[in-house]
Amino acid sequence: MDGGAEPQGGEVGAWPDLLLVDGGAGQLSVAKEVLDSLGLHGLPIAGIAKGPDRNAGRERFFMPGKPPFSLPPNDPVLYFVQRLRDEAHRFAIGSHRAKRKKAMSETSLDDIPGIGPARKRALLRHFGSAKSVSRAGLPDLQAVAGISEAMAQQIYDYFHGAK
């Protein structure tokens, strides 16, 4: 750490010079509690909240034991912090969307050995949903293009508890 306080606790590696929290006094307080519960005392921390009416350029900075403050609107540090915050938001939103998209495309068919993307597509095209596949009888499963008798048995057994 470049001259920053060394948090007390186990040796974990390099520590940041400053931990920035996206939010005001409430979020800062929660983050501080978490750090304290982990035994990480002395780590510099600050909260950054958008100003009144959530206007960029009117951010308020919060630090434990100090009154909230603002930087002048044309301050390069303020501009840097705004871009940092915006990038963190972009990353979080992108990650959330990717996770949600993945969860929406995953079905119980993904857990059946031997069912790859092509067989999954064929089953979903034929039955309309994974739930319908799970309710299908053996002859119905065998009627799907690309599903052999043995694979149909494996799918049927997966959904009906047979080993």
Entry pTM: 0.55
Q: What is the pLDDT of residue 62?
A: 95
Q: What is the pLDDT of residue 143?
A: 93
How far is the C-alpha of 144 from the C-alpha of 152, rounded, in Å?
A: 9
Task: Give CA 160 to chain center in angstroms.
Answer: 34
Q: What is the pLDDT of residue 2?
A: 47
Q: Are 122 and 147 in contact (CB under 8 A)?
A: yes
* CATH 1.10.150.20-classified regions of the chain: 108-160
Q: Residue 13 carries which side chain, given as an amino acid letter?
A: G
Alpha helices (H) along 64-135: 76-105, 117-127, 130-135
Looking up tokens 């509690």, which residue turns up?
Answer: 33
Q: Which residues of the chain have pLDDT under 50?
A: 1-3
Task: Enter the tokens of residue 10.
Answer: 């186990």
CATH class, domain 108-160, is mainly alpha
- CA distances 85 to 45, 71, 76, 114, 115, Å, are 15, 15, 14, 44, 42
Beta-sheet pairing, 19-22 with 66-69 = unpaired
Q: What is the pLDDT of residue 142?
A: 93
Q: What is the pLDDT of residue 1?
A: 41
